[in-house]
Amino acid sequence: MSGIRTLIQKKVAFYGAGSMAEAIARGLISRGVLSPSSITMMNRSNRERLQELENKYGVITARETAAKEDVLQTTDVIILSMKPKDAAEALRYLGPLLSPGQLVVSVIAGMTIETMQTLLGKKHPVVRTMPNTSSTIGLGATGIAFSEEVSDEDQHLVRTLFEAVGIVTIVDESTIETLTGISGSGPAYIYYMMEAMMEAGVRGGLSSEQARDLTVQTVLGAARMVQQTGESPQDLRKKVTSPNGSTEAAIGVLAKGHFKETVHAAVDRCAERSREMGNALKEEIN
């Protein structure tokens, strides 16, 4: 891959090698933003998983403690991509290894910039992001909040990294939990809706393949309609809904089941849960 020109000439390490790390790494590689040889992935102890990532994407992996330590000491951008419960230990370990030129980027739900810097033991430049798994295919949606210490150049770098795998919005840190409730966790709500539509299709006599194809195309088409026509979902919904017709009947059932209120409550609960996870991490400081 060394002959391929890539957009960013920086080394990036994923500290945590699960689904989110894979989604971003895969997106960055397939979009030609980073070469696989610029990416190092590491996890706590699952060597088979690292072998799988090496085989699939040609990335470098760090398995032994000394190799991991070397990566964490020398890589330009370290992407924290472990679960919140593992973050405190990892950040405490990382802090003393970091030198000033390195940038720490977190995708961890709930963990605040303040908590990150406290656990690192210094006011190191850190970035709090909330991406989603659609980054895998370049259709991610990522919210980003920077600590004061992040230089303009590094802000640009992080933006470029995440824009390569979807859209980016820079937000005030205070809104990132709500953003998690919309776009971070949002794909799961849409999948849940799709599961229900497919099940209903099969119950009504469609084959599972038909139900799947029709549901997928319907979700895709609806999202594209909002994007490409510029019309609001409400106006587009009205165009589907003939007076006294079948759609109106269906929407009536959803409204009776408090569909909108349920979605609002789900988003609120997601944001609240992110805050709870953040608070649990904060408590680990003392």
Ligand X SMILES: O=C(O)[C@@H]1CCC=N1
Q: Contact positions toward ligand X, by CB under 6 A?
A: 109, 180, 184-185
Helices (H), the chain: 19-30, 47-57, 65-74, 84-94, 113-120, 152-163, 176-179, 186-203, 208-229, 233-240, 246-256, 259-283
Binding mask 139-178 for ligand NAI (x = CB under 6 A): ----------------------------------------
Binding mask 189-208 for ligand NAI (x = CB under 6 A): --------------------
Instruction: Provide CB contacts within 8 A for 137, sequence distance 6+.
Output: 27
CB 178 within 8 A of CB 267: yes
Instruction: Provide CB contacts within 8 A for 30, sequence distance 6+.
Output: 138
Query: Would you list the DSSP string of 241-253?
Result: --TTSHHHHHHHH
Stretch that binds ligand NAI, among 97-105, 126-134, 164-172, 202-210 (CB under 6 A): 126-134
Binding mask 41-80 for ligand NAI (x = CB under 6 A): -xxx-x----------------------------------
Candidates 35, 40, 81, 136; binder of ligand NAI (CB under 6 A) is 81
Verify binding: residue 117, ligand NAI, rule CB under 6 A.
Answer: no
Site residue total, ligand NAI (CB under 6 A)? 26
d(CA 132, CA 183): 7
- Output 43 or 180, the one with its CB closest to ligand X: 180
Candidates 108, 120, 126, 144; binder of ligand NAI (CB under 6 A) is 108
Distances in Å between the Cα of 253 and the Cα atoms of 218, 236, 256 are 19, 19, 5
Beta bridge partners of 103: 77
- Output 83 or 123, the one with its CB closest to ligand NAI: 83
Query: What's the token pair of residue 270?
Result: 């997601």
CB of 61 to ligand NAI, least distance (A): 11
CB of 151 to ligand NAI, least distance (A): 24
Which of the choices ligand NAI, ligand X, none does residue 46 contact, using the CB cut-off of 5 to 8 A by kind?
Answer: ligand NAI
- Output 76 or 93, the one with its CB closest to ligand NAI: 93
Crossing angle of helices 84-94 and 113-120, in 10° steps, is 40
